[in-house]
Structure 1
Amino acid sequence: MLIPNQKVHLPLLEEKDVTLYIKREDTIHPFISGNKYRKLKYNVLEVKKQEHTMLLTFGGAFSNHIAATAFAGKEAGLKTVGVIRGEELRDNWQENPTLKLAKDHGMEFYFVSRSDYRIKNTSDFYERLKTLFGNFYLLPEGGTNTLAVKGCEEILTESDSEFDFVCSCVGTGGTIAGLINSVRPHQTVLGFPALKGDFLKQDILKFARNKNWELVPNYHFGGYAKVDEHLIDFINTFKKETQIPLDPMYTGKMLFGILDKVKQGFFKPGIRILAIHSGGLQGIKGMNLVLKKKNLPLLDI
């Protein structure tokens, strides 16, 4: 599968003599885009190998993972269940574009309170799910497990060894771990967390085998799914200037961070950067509903 690397042409990059390409993983599949396709690939094969008929996973209102799992399950002939954070969504999920997309592809929802969601990884909660749904193949929130990392190790190709830095947004750590395991010794992986907190490093270390990586904090804009007018303007301007759409949860924050680091002189002249576009564009419609309620500018679709 050949995914194009698209060169980014911006005056700032020319001024600083930095080359930036974006690997358009968002073009990999119309519904299961980017890293979600990679994470689900070997997990779906394992579901079939174990002769399960149901795939159960977790996510929030705008989860790319929920939408992708629903479609992947339908494509594979599997029943899917989404344990969704937020009981308040039970009566109005039809108004949420992500959940509507998942339901259209056959996913059954189980809405839980935020306090219950925090204990989703405990044995008591697992037993409750087994009582409700019977036997199922469990995928963690965000889809990160050993098989997901294996899929993400396939993102880079031989020709990508020409780059000095490989940049990735970071949610649950599976994608960046796959990249860390597959880069060449002369390359450095930079991770741009979309969440606040120092726990991500430990999550990545569970799967990463190499040491040539680092996290770049302070570009999370307040935490997961948090955006402001500055980020919205950046994403809209970037799309206008490059014709590359970015999502507000992950890739928008990563590209903002990369270009800010270029501006600061973090990258030496002559450096070549490859940024991984992890998809997630389906979440823009849902984010625009939130922005509209807050009287903030909307993201271009």
Structure 2
Amino acid sequence: MSPSEEIAIELIKLDYSSVSLSIKREDKIHEFVSGNKFRKLKYNIEAAESGVYNQLLTFGGAFSNHISATAAAGKLNNIKTIGIIRGDELNDKSNQTLKFAKQCGMQLIFVSREEYRLKEQGNLAKKYINKETFIVPEGGTNPLAIKGCEEILDDSTSRYDYICTSVGTGGTISGIINASLSHQKIIGFSALKGSFLQEDISKFVNKTNWTLNIDYHFGGYAKVTPELISFINQFKTQHNIPLDPIYTGKMMYGVLDLISKGYFKKDSKILAIHTGGLQGIQGVNTYLKKKQLPLIL
């Protein structure tokens, strides 16, 4: 797989601060396999095409960006894909994410939440995995994914003092840390409640120029608030840049809040990584509509 277009870096001018903020639009890599999902899948797809394997199997929830991107990547590269989906009450018509995955040719297998906890091990694995199956973990994080995420940084990003990214499973930030330069500090904004990801990230990196911020999760993974929705909509109106509510919306809220509080050194150059995930907006809007709350634009 290769990017379909060059990634744009757009400058946001901040009148109230002495720092500058840019966004690396990884969401523009590809229409269906974008952002960190492209980076994570790049070398996994290459491995699955090696000739040893005849199918790729992975795991995810009902609105999973990873499931959607893997299905699309499989179709683009003519690789059979299987998705183990959490929730045996679901089917391939339950929402647009699952419909899209099915249309891309992914075989969807719906299992109970109890059975799903087995994931790569135990009876669940024995049912659907053979020696010719290439397995990609939930969220896509493995050494091949981290190798791909290292390519997010390049010569054009060397001028930045801070690199900020959202964090889900830790693969994206691990790659960024590994590729970072000595003068750069990496800040991860966790989409999950708790600091347990610190240990997961530490397994994949050998640098100490990073920190994990756990103050902007808005209640936990996939949780949203009216304040967050308002911020995302205002940001899109002002800058014409869409943000997803699971990852990038929370990160950008956190970055701008820290800037307003004087967290960053004077005259610092900050780069925020837009990791994509925009297909997830539809799932959150379904929830918001049921609750009769404002929708994401």
Shift of 1:134: 7.1
Q: Distance in 1 between matches of 2:218 and 2:96?
A: 23
Which residue of structure 2 aligns with residue 84 of structure 1?
85
Pairing partner for 1:5 from 6, 9, 19: 9
Alignment partner, residue 284 of structure 1: 281
Q: Secondary structure, in 3 states, of the residue corresponding to 1:162?
A: coil
**In 2, distance between residues paired with 1:287 and 1:201?**
27
Counterpart of 1:200 in structure 2 is 197
C-alpha contact 2:195 2:214 (8 A) present in aligned 1: no
Specify the SS of the correspondent of 2:49.
helix
Residue of 203, 207, 211 corresponding to 1:210 = 207
Aligned positions of 1:97-116 closer than 5 A: 97-116=96-115
Give the whole-Å Cα distance in 1 for the aligned partners of 2:194 and 2:263. 23
What's the CA shift string for 1:203-260, capped at 9, x where partnerless? 1112112110000112111111110110000000000000110001100000000011
Confirm or deny that 1:157 pairs with 2:154: yes
1:135 aligns with 132
* Counterpart amino acid of residue 126 in structure 2: E
The one-letter amino acid of 1:84's match is I
Q: Which amino acid aligns with 2:100?
A: L
- For residue 189 of structure 1, the aligned residue among 186, 189, 192 is 186
Moved over 6 A (4+): none
CA contact (8 A) 2:150 2:176 kept: yes
Task: Measure how far apart 1:18 and its partner are.
Answer: 1.4
Which shows bigger deviation, 274-283 or 107-116? 107-116
TM-score by length of 1: 0.94
**Distance in 2 between residues matched to 1:205 and 1:268, nearest whole Å:** 26
- 1:264 shift after superposition: 1.2
Counting aligned pairs with the same residue, the percent is 55
Deviation at 1:123, TM superposition (A): 3.5
State how far apart, in whole Å, the 2-side matches of 1:159 and 1:182 are.
Answer: 13
Alpha-carbon distance, 1:95 to partner: 3.6
- CA displacement 1:39-92 (0-9 Å, x = unmatched): 1111111111143121100001111100000010111111111111111113xx
Match of 2:41 in 1: 40
Q: Amino acid of the residue matched to residue 4 of structure 1?
A: A
Alpha-carbon distance in structure 2 between the residues aligned to 1:39 and 1:276: 14
SS at match of 1:58: strand
Contact 2:116 2:124 in 1 (8 A): no
Identify the residue that residue 121 of structure 1 maps to in structure 2.
120
Partner Cα separation in structure 2 for residue 251 and residue 164 of structure 1 = 20
Does residue 17 (structure 1) correspond to residue 18 (structure 2)? The answer is: yes
TM-score (norm 2): 0.95
CA distance in 1, matches of 2:218, 2:87: 22
Aligned AA (2:99): K
CA RMSD, aligned part only? 1.3
Q: Give me the whole-angstrom Cα distance separating, in 2, the residues matched to 1:273 and 1:5.
A: 12
CA distance in 1, matches of 2:94, 2:48: 31
Do 2:56 and 2:135's aligned partners in 1 also have CA atoms closer than 8 Å? yes
Distance 1:95 1:57 in 2: 19
Q: How many aligned positions are there? A: 293
Tell me the CA shift for residue 94 of structure 1.
1.4
SS in 2 for 1:88: coil
Give the conservation status (yes or no) of the 8 Å contact 2:194–2:214: no
Show structure 1 runs of 5+ residues with no match.
none
Query: Matches of 2:161 and 2:62 in 1, distance apart?
Result: 36
C-alpha distance in 2, partners of 1:252/1:14?
Answer: 21
